[in-house]
């Protein structure tokens, strides 16, 4: 269902999502963190998926997971339905980006109570071993996150907390036992307790500076605060039934490089009305509102996302128009093609149907295409204003 690409509230979530984009997930045995890697799944939807496991196939998943039809079809191509005890998934990608080499290796596996993860690229690494959801040893680009992001990048949309992979984190070594976690990195030491209902995290840099972050969750509401010698912060967020908000106020300066210490706000909602879907995301940095209409073999969307946009698809043909850009494309069972014309720089556009890759416009023309075999092996490429990129990828799941 390519009429509804993920409604992503924050670009950094897209970057994190890229590491898992083609890699299959066993929905019967994966952890919450793997589901949170998809920026368009809400906390309530993740809870519903986990609550109704195991699933005995795609139709059973659609019937019992509690996901809206559009959301379930957005992740259909990367779901596996294993036996809850064992699965392995490997993703490899290599190629050129703007003429420079780039590669990614990602592995996930489960054997009984043991869960393993590995992610390697030129600039980002992460490895973790977990037993029974109770003990975890991790190394690489990890943060110890809080829901509103004063510590690490918890994500006010996903409601994430605890030890998480982040492409922006410095190299680190971490150990978690139950709700307790300690993480040592190039900045200093951060440790404490973090769980769904609340947490308290303390940090000390190698320069001797101290900082603390605490949060408390009550139903759909999260309260969070940060305190140091140089600054204080307070935040509140809530999400339920497709409607959410987040407010953060800070005074002074942060001392810990892990996490965000800036004033911000955001309000978002997603409301289905028969065949229509109304969505909005408003923040201090971004505005996005959309109205979508879908039917059998067609889709129509009017959207404001930094500029006004109109998008139409009928069967496999797509056309889009915005203030400063125009594009058209075609998708068939084993590939896709798009051509763009840009009259302005800096307009964000979702390019690949499979990966939801976010690109930024440059005045001129761009051509992009991809081919795949059952979403297991593929090749993608682009050419824009003399710059080019090409990727070859493969994904295996057992």
Q: Is residue 219 part of a domain?
A: no
Q: Is residue 140 part of a domain?
A: no
- Is the model's pLDDT at 147 over the cut of 60? yes
Q: Which residue has the higher pLDDT, 337 or 133?
A: 337
- The pLDDT of residue 155: 61
What is the C-alpha separation between 13 and 166, in angstroms, rounded? 9
Q: Which residue has the higher pLDDT, 85 or 205?
A: 205
pLDDT band at 256 (very low <50, low <70, confident <90, very high): confident
Mean pLDDT of 273-289: 85
- Is the model's pLDDT at 3 over the cut of 90? no
Closest of 151, 330, 121 to residue 225, by C-alpha: 151
Q: Is residue 224 part of a domain?
A: no
Q: Which residue has the higher pLDDT, 3 or 108?
A: 108
Q: Is residue 20 part of a domain?
A: yes
Q: Is residue 391 part of a domain?
A: yes
Pairing of strands 25-26, 79-80: parallel
| Total tally of structural domains belonging to the chain | 1
Q: Is residue 232 part of a domain?
A: no
- The pLDDT of residue 99: 79
Distances (CA, A) of 251 to 151, 194, 217, 232, 263: 16, 24, 23, 5, 9
Q: Which residue has the higher pLDDT, 168 or 203?
A: 203
- The pLDDT of residue 125: 86
pTM of the model: 0.78
Paired tokens of 50: 């986990």
Provide the mean pLDDT of the chain: 82
- The pLDDT of residue 20: 37
Lowest mean pLDDT among 2-6, 31-35, 160-164: 2-6
Domain enclosing residue 308, as ranges: 11-123+275-397
Q: Which residue has the higher pLDDT, 125 or 44?
A: 125
Q: Is residue 283 part of a domain?
A: yes
Lowest mean pLDDT among 83-97, 199-213, 327-341, 379-393: 83-97
pLDDT band at 17 (very low <50, low <70, confident <90, very high): very low
Q: Is residue 337 part of a domain?
A: yes
pLDDT tens profile 350-379: 775 444 567 888 999 999 888 888 778 888
The answer to whether the beta carbons of residues 235 and 246 sit under 8 Å apart is yes
Mean pLDDT of 129-148: 90
Q: Which residue has the higher pLDDT, 87 or 327?
A: 327
The answer to whether the beta carbons of residues 342 and 350 sit under 8 Å apart is no
């Amino acid at each position: 269902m390519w009429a509804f690409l993920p409604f992503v509230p924050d670009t950094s979530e897209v970057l994190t999502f890229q590491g898992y984009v083609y890699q299959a997930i066993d929905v019967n045995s994966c952890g919450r963190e793997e589901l949170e890697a998809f920026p368009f799944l809400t906390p309530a939807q993740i809870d519903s998926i986990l609550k109704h496991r195991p699933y005995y196939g795609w139709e059973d998943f659609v019937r019992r997971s509690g996901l809206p039809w559009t959301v379930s079809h957005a992740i259909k191509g990367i779901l596996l339905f294993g036996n809850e005890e064992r699965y392995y998934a490997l993703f490899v990608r290599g190629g050129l980006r703007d003429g420079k080499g780039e590669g990614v290796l990602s592995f996930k596996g489960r054997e009984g109570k043991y869960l393993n993860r590995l992610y390697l690229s030129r600039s980002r690494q992460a490895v973790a071993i977990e037993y029974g959801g109770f003990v975890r040893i991790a190394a690489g680009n990890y943060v110890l996150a809080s829901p509103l992001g004063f510590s690490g990048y918890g994500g006010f949309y996903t409601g994430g907390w605890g030890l998480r992979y982040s492409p922006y984190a410095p190299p680190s070594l971490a150990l978690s036992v139950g709700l307790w976690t300690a993480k040592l990195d190039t900045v200093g030491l951060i440790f404490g307790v973090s769980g769904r209902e609340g947490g308290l995290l303390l940090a000390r840099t190698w320069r001797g500076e101290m900082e603390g972050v605490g949060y408390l969750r009550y139903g759909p509401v999260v309260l969070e605060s940060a305190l140091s010698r140089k600054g204080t912060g307070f935040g509140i967020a809530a999400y339920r039934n497709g409607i959410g908000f987040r407010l953060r106020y800070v005074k002074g300066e942060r001392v810990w490089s892990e996490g965000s210490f800036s004033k911000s706000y955001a309000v978002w909602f997603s409301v289905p009305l028969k065949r229509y879907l109304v969505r909005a995301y408003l923040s201090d940095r971004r505005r996005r509102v959309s109205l979508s209409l879908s039917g059998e073999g067609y889709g129509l969307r009017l959207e404001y996302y930094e500029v006004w946009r109109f998008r139409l698809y009928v069967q496999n043909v797509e056309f889009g128009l915005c203030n400063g850009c125009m594009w058209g494309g075609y998708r068939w069972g084993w590939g896709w093609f798009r051509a763009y014309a840009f009259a302005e720089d800096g307009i964000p556009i979702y390019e690949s149907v499979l990966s939801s890759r976010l690109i930024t416009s440059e005045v001129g023309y761009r051509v992009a295409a991809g081919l795949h075999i059952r979403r297991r092996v593929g090749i993608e490429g682009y050419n824009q204003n003399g710059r080019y990129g090409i990727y070859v990828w493969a994904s295996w799941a057992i």
